[in-house]
Amino acid sequence: MITYIPFIVLIVLITCCVAVFGNATLDGASQVSLLVAAAVSVLVGHFTKRLEWENLEKEITDKIASCTPAIIILLLIGAIGGTWMVSGIVPTMIYYGMQIIRPEVFLVSSSVLCALVSLMIGSSWTTVATIGVALMGIGKAHGFDDGWIAGSIITGAYFGDKLSPLSDTTVLASSVSGTPLFTHIRYMLYTTVPTFCISLTIFLIAGFTMNVSGHGNVHEFMEGLQHTFVISPWLLVVPVLTGVMIARRWPSMVVLFLAILLAAVVGLLVQPNLVHAISDSEDWGLLASYKGMMQVVYGSTNIETGVPMLNDLVHTSGMSGMMPTIWLIICAQTFGGALTATGQLQDLMRQVLRFAKSTVSLVASTVGTSLFCNIATADQYLSIMLASSMFKDEYTKRGYEPRLLSRTCEDSATVTSVLVPWNTCGLTQSTVLGVATLTYLPYCFFNFLSPVTSIVVAALGWKIKRKCS
The verdict on residue 124 lying in a domain is yes
Per the CB < 8 A criterion, the answer to whether 20 and 14 are in contact is no
More confident residue, 73 or 187: 187
Identity of the residue numbered 86: V
Do 167 and 192 meet the contact criterion of CB atoms below 8 Å apart? no
Residue 217 has pLDDT above 90, yes or no: no
Q: Is residue 274 part of a domain?
A: yes
Residue 305's pLDDT band, with cuts at 50, 70 and 90, is: confident
Nearest to 26 by CA among 431, 378, 383: 378
CA distances from 141 to 114, 206, 254, 448 (A): 18, 17, 44, 27
Judge whether residue 338 has pLDDT over 70.
yes
What is each CA distance from 446 to 136, 137, 198, 371, 442, in whole angstroms?
18, 22, 8, 15, 10
Residue, of 26 and 55, whose pLDDT is higher: 55
DSSP string, 442-465: GG-HHHHHHHHHHHHHHHHTTT--
Whether 42 is covered by a domain: the verdict is: no
**pLDDT-derived band at 377, boundaries 50, 70, 90:** low
Q: What percent of the chain has pLDDT over 70?
A: 93
How confident is the model over 22-39, as a mean pLDDT? 82
The 10s digit of each residue's pLDDT in 415-461 is 998 898 777 688 778 877 888 888 999 999 999 999 999 999 988 88
Spell out the alpha helix ranges (H) of 271-358. Answer: 272-279, 286-298, 308-314, 323-342, 344-353
- Given a cut of 80, whether residue 291 has pLDDT beyond it is yes
Range of 164's domain? 69-321
3-state helix, strand, coil in the chain (%, to 5): 80, 0, 20
Least confident of 59-63, 310-314, 333-337, 382-386: 310-314
Counting the structural domains of the chain, the total is: 1
Comparing 91-95, 336-340, 452-456, 464-468, the range with the smallest average pLDDT is: 464-468
Residue 443 lies in a domain: no
- Is residue 82 a contact partner of residue 301, using CB atoms and an 8 Å limit? yes
Residue 101 in any domain: the answer is yes
Q: Are 110 and 446 in contact (CB under 8 A)?
A: no
Question: What does pTM read for this prediction?
Answer: 0.72
**Cα separation, 56 vs 308, whole angstroms:** 50
Task: List the beta bridge partners of residue 316.
Answer: 301
- SS3 for 355-383 is CCCCHHHHHHHHHHHHHHHHHHHCCHHHH
- Higher pLDDT: 211 or 156? It is 156
Residue 233, Cβ density class (10 Å: 0-12 exposed, 13-18 middle, ≥19 buried): exposed
Instruction: Return the closest-CA partner of residue 356 out of 395, 383, 387, 388.
Output: 395
Give me the pLDDT at residue 165, please.
85
Q: Average of pLDDT values for 337-348?
A: 78
Determine the pLDDT at residue 216: 46
Whose CA is closest to 383, among 361, 415, 357?
Answer: 415
Nearest CA to 332 out of 168, 185, 187, 184 is that of 168
Residue 273 has a CB neighbour count (10 Å cut-off) of: 11
What mean pLDDT value characterizes the chain?
83
**302, burial (CB in 10 Å: exposed 0-12, middle 13-18, buried 19+):** exposed
Query: Percent of the chain having pLDDT more than 90?
Result: 18
176 is a domain residue? yes
- Exposed e or buried b for every residue in 175-186, given b needs 16+ CB within 10 A? bbbbbbbbbbbb
